[in-house]
A and B are shown apart, each in its own frame.
Chain A
Amino acid sequence: MALISLLAVSAINFWLVEMLPGDAAARILGRNATPEALALLREQLNLHLSAPERYLQWLSKLMSGDFGISLVADRPVLDYIASRVANTALLSGFALLLYIPISISLGVITAINRGRMADHVISGIVLIFMCLPEFVIGILLISIFAIKLSWLPPLALIGQAKSFGDLLQLIALPTITLVAAMTAYAVRMMRESLIEVLDSSYVLMARLKGLPTWRVLLFHALPNALGPAINITALNVAWMIGGVVVVEAVFEFPGIGRLMVDSIGHKDVPVILAISMIMTGAYIVTNLIADVLVILLNPKLR
């Protein structure tokens, strides 16, 4: 099923890119286009073949790991985007690393304090963050920490980082932006599912046995609230694949999201195709992993 979706997505992507105005040869040559050069380049790019034929050709190359040659950089796409993919992976990795403990602990705090002050305050802040578009969060952070306080740099040009400390400073704001946007959903869901579990009879039983609260939470309640949490995390990672495009644009972060926007501007078709395939692939794989994890965690579904 996942493979079929990926295949279908590749066809949709290819067809959409096919609809970009002007053909690839004219786009590469730009103003230098003479009729002879155009004809030659069209021959080289196999533009004389029909669109379905070229799609199959592109697909078979893709299978062998060949993404084609970037029209702008004049380098193999894989080579060109590899460092960008690594940067985005770094950013998302940092964000995930922070996101998991923060959302679980905030979820627990709001759930066990439900109806009290701590719950109201945290839930209120979470609701506001949930409603703020990620680029607004990013800009707010820039205007507070970079412009008003000048603690952190406004742009995340991580190519300039000389040490790990530098890197942390540069990547801090984009990471916080991603975490804030993701945590908001997760805390709400975590709270709901934990409250349901805390009201269950086996938690009451554990309490009546006289177990300390932390034991009840850690060994009885949390494992049973994790299923929904994993689903939310999958949704969040899926969201992050799109959100990263916006966050990278806010901070001029040199990742694949930024490259995607730039490449669309330059009409660099092989790069656009490669990035959209990578993003869709990551999206589908994430959902697959989440499905498997949920089944593994729940003995009833095994």
Chain B
Amino acid sequence: MAVSETSIGTWRAGLGRATRGLSASGRIGAAIILVYVAVALTGSLWAPYGAAAILTGSPFEGGSLKHLFGTDNLGRDVFSRVVLGTRSVLTMTFAATFLALAVGGLIGIVLGYLRNWVDELGMRIIDILISIPTLVLALLIISAIGNSLWLVVLTVAFLFAPRVARVARAATLNVATNDYVAAALARGESTLSICLREILPNIMGVMLVEFAIRCAFAIIFIGSLGFLGFGAPPPTPEWGLMINEARANATNSLWPVLAPAAVMALLVIAINLFADGLSRMIDHPGYRTTGAK
């Protein structure tokens, strides 16, 4: 069964539809993110060595065809560890951001819709939570309840949720006075159903952009926690942790430090480009960015 001209045509059209209105830099960002996702999904099938396999070559080898990014102090293959680390980093990032969006988004929408004393109280609590420096709070929480992959995810979600709630509430305030909300109320729909069926679809664009921006923050944040030794426990091939472990031997070989750092930076840049493109697309449908105003 050969791939026919028409099927390529429809595939192209589908791609065009999906990215219509997205700026060129937004598309580049999206493409890079897709590559990372593909690596995360399939990496374990083609990574040349295992994440914990030691002495795959001698320690501190430079980059070569056998070890693309060289080897670390235990002779582990840095390329394989970076590739295999993509899965844990992306899983943690998406899980934490999704949780934060779900919980914070729901709270923000309900508060913005109610606009009564519950809203007053909720916003006060949110203001207080936001006034604690994130990293300080994260270190306290993680040292109190321990560090495992999922506790890091929950901590990051907990830290981001009040910030997301603020954004969701602000977006809801613009929507909640519309007639279709009043109509739903007149139909006798419950508060939760109005929030989820009437308001949520109308602030979906804002939430999508928020999701993308939060993802970029989450990667940096999870990387910082790993770097400080408060993230996933070793020998998880998490990028921040890898940089931390390799740092002591930076005088011997820079590959194990620079490879995960570069990979992390590229992903964050890609997500930022995508988020930027997405927010322009949603703000001005059909508007093409030309750089300067």
Q: Which residues of A are in contact with B by a Cβ distance under 8 Å?
A: 1, 4-5, 8-9, 12-13, 16-17, 19-21, 114-115, 119-120, 127-128, 130-136, 139-140, 142-143, 147, 154, 195, 199, 238, 241-243, 245-246, 249-250, 260-261, 264, 267, 272, 275-276, 279-280, 283-284, 287
B264–chain A nearest beta-carbon distance, Å: 7
Closest to B290 in A: A115
Number of interface residues of B (CB under 8 A): 41
Please choose the segment from B73-81, B103-111, B161-169, B254-262 that sits at the chain A interface, where 4 or more of its residues have CB less than 8 A away. B254-262
Question: A4-B128, A279-B136 known; A245 and B228 CB under 8 Å?
Answer: yes
CB-based contact B258/A280 at 8 Å: no
Contact status of A283 and B144, CB under 8 A, knowing A135-B227, A139-B261: no
Chain A residues with CB under 8 A of B250: 139, 142-143, 147, 154
User: Quick one: which of A4, A12, A136, A261 contacts B261, CB cutoff 8 A?
Assistant: A136
Q: Which residues of A contact B145 (CB under 8 A)?
A: 19
Residue B216 CB within 8 A of the other chain = yes
20 sampled A-B residue pairs with Cβ under 8 A: A5-B128, A128-B269, A133-B240, A133-B265, A133-B268, A134-B224, A135-B240, A136-B243, A142-B250, A154-B250, A241-B133, A242-B135, A243-B135, A264-B140, A272-B143, A276-B136, A279-B133, A280-B133, A283-B133, A287-B131
CB of B10 closer than 8 Å to a CB of A: no
Q: How far is the CA of A261 from the CA of B140 in the complex (A)?
A: 10
Residue interface bits B159-177, CB-to-A below 8 A is 1, else 0:
0000000000000000000
Contact (Cβ within 8 A) B141 A16 = yes
B224 touches A12 (CB 8 A): no
Bound-state CA distance A142–B246 (Å) is 13
The 7 A-B pairs of least Cβ separation, nearest first, read A115-B292, A242-B135, A19-B144, A131-B268, A131-B269, A136-B261, A133-B220
**Residues of chain A within 8 A of B204, CB atoms compared:** none
CB nearest to A280 among chain B residues: B132
Contacts A9-B131, A249-B227 known; 17 new A-B pairs at CB < 8 A = A13-B140, A16-B140, A17-B140, A20-B143, A139-B257, A139-B258, A140-B261, A142-B250, A238-B133, A242-B133, A250-B247, A260-B136, A261-B228, A264-B140, A280-B131, A280-B133, A283-B133
A249 CB contacts on chain B under 8 angstroms: 227-228
Asked if B116 is at the interface of the complex by the 8 Å CB criterion, the answer is no
Tell me which residues from 63 to 107 in chain B have a Cβ below 8 Å from any Cβ of chain A. Answer: none
Residues of B within 8 A of A (CB): 127-128, 131-137, 139-141, 143-146, 216, 220, 223-224, 227-230, 240, 243, 247, 250-251, 254, 257-258, 261, 264-265, 268-269, 272, 291-293
Which chain A residue has the least Cβ–Cβ distance from B266?
Answer: A131
When the two chains form their complex, are residues B224 and A135 in contact, meaning their CB atoms are under 8 A apart? Answer: yes
Main SS of the interface on chain B? helix
Contacts of B230 in A (CB 8 A): 264
- Residues of B within 8 Å of A132, CB to CB, are 265, 268
Contact of A246 among B141, B224, B291 (CB under 8 A): B224
Say yes or no: A135-B243 contact (C-beta < 8 A), given A140-B261, A147-B254, A279-B136.
yes
Q: Which residue of B lies closest to A2 (CB)?
A: B131
Q: How far is the CA of A227 from the CA of B127 in the complex (A)?
A: 22
Residues of B within 8 A of A12 (CB): 132, 137
A115 vs B292: C-alpha distance when bound (angstroms): 5
Return B42 CB to nearest CB of chain A, in Å: 25
**How far, in Å, is A205 (CB) from chain B's closest CB?**
20
Contacts of A120 in B (CB 8 A): 291
Q: Write the chain B residue with the least CB distance to A283.
A: B133
Bound together, the chains give a CA A136 to CA B246 distance in angstroms of: 12
Hey, which chain B residues are within 8 Å of A134, CB to CB?
224
B127, B224, B264 — most chain A CB neighbours (10 Å): B224
The chain A residue with its CB closest to the CB of B143 is A264
How many angstroms between the C-alpha atoms of A114 and B143 in the bound complex?
Answer: 47
Out of B228, B272, B291, name the residue touching A115 (CB < 8 Å): B291
The distance from the CB of A256 to the nearest CB of chain B, in whole angstroms, is 10
* Chain B: minimal CB distance from A189 (Å): 14
Interface centre among A199, A264, A272 (most CB of B within 10 A): A264
With CB as the reference atom, state the residue of chain A lying closest to B220.
Answer: A133
Min distance, Cβ A221 to any Cβ of chain B, angstroms: 15
* Distance, CA A267 to CA B146, complexed state (A): 12
Q: Bound state CA distance, A120 and B257, in angstroms?
A: 29
Q: Give Cα distance in the complex from A128 to B266, angstroms.
A: 9
CB distance from B140 to the nearest CB of A (A): 5
Contacts of A140 in B (CB 8 A): 258, 261
Determine the chain B residues whose CB is within 8 A of the CB of A279 once the complex forms: 133, 136
